Amino acid sequence: MKSPRLFGIVFLALCVTAHADLTVVQKMAGSDGVHQITLKVKGDKARVDVTPQVTTIIDAKTGDLTTLLNDKKTVMRISGERAKAMAEIAKSFVKEEAPEQALPKPTGQKETISGYETEEYVSDSPKYHATYWVAKSYPNYESILQQMSLLQRGAFASITKGMPDYHALPGLPLRTEIKVPGQGQITSTIESVSLSPLAASEFDIPADYSEMKMPDILGGKQSPDKSGTP
């Protein structure tokens, strides 16, 4: 990862597989400032609004990635096959195999966040130190946590091995702090969670958006996708 913020966005953003709809609003603070990120999940699809200008839509079933540049009304698409090929190329640049992430362990420290009592859990790896403030009494936390696993099982699983795993936590992490050696710290805090139904149209591409042709960064080495694009 090039920056703690990118690390955090990837961790938050690509998370699908449960049945209930989900909306999570998080505040993310790092070396480049404070940002609000909204994650919406419906079925096998997730929508992540990183900024008002950029929206990413992920289809966990097909592996397709769609990026909307809202200020330019432009859409960029990456098929599941191409995403998998890109992940393999990215993996080739990783000099060493990422170790398994150690299970989070409680420290006994407690803090009240957004009205919930939380307990501190920490986990270390050679890549980063993670601290989670876990609310064990948060309603429906099991259902919420089930939706946080797309990257670890999808096209990019091979290069995200060793990333933090919410499934090992006994509650909802209302605050997560990740320290990457030499790159500072990023802190993400959940501001709101909703399980209310979402409209399917929120995961559609607006009709007035134009297509942006993706550059052939793979050099034509992968097989054509279903659309025939190399």
- Please, which pLDDT band fits residue 45 given cuts at 50, 70 and 90? confident
Higher pLDDT, 114 or 8: 114
pTM here is 0.74
The residue-averaged pLDDT of 56-70 equals: 89
| Gap between the Cα atoms of 47 and 190, Å rounded | 17
The residue-averaged pLDDT of 26-44 equals: 89
Q: Give the percent of the chain with pLDDT over 90.
A: 39
| Gap between the Cα atoms of 6 and 64, Å rounded | 20
Q: Give which of 150, 41, 79 is closest to 49, Cα–Cα.
A: 41
| Gap between the Cα atoms of 24 and 18, Å rounded | 14
- 178 in Cβ contact with 130 (< 8 Å): yes
Higher pLDDT, 183 or 90: 183
Higher pLDDT, 82 or 105: 105
Residue 214, pLDDT above cutoff 90 = no
- CA–chain centroid gap for 22, Å, is 14
Residue-wise pLDDT for 47-61, tens only, equals: 999 889 999 998 888
- Please, which pLDDT band fits residue 95 given cuts at 50, 70 and 90? low
The domain locations on the chain are: 4-103+147-170+190-211
In sequence order, what are the residues at sequence separation of 6 or more whose Cβ sits closer than 8 angstroms to the Cβ of residue 177? 130, 131, 132, 185, 186, 187
Q: Give which of 156, 184, 58, 168 is closest to 98, Cα–Cα.
A: 156
The residue-averaged pLDDT of 201-207 equals: 94
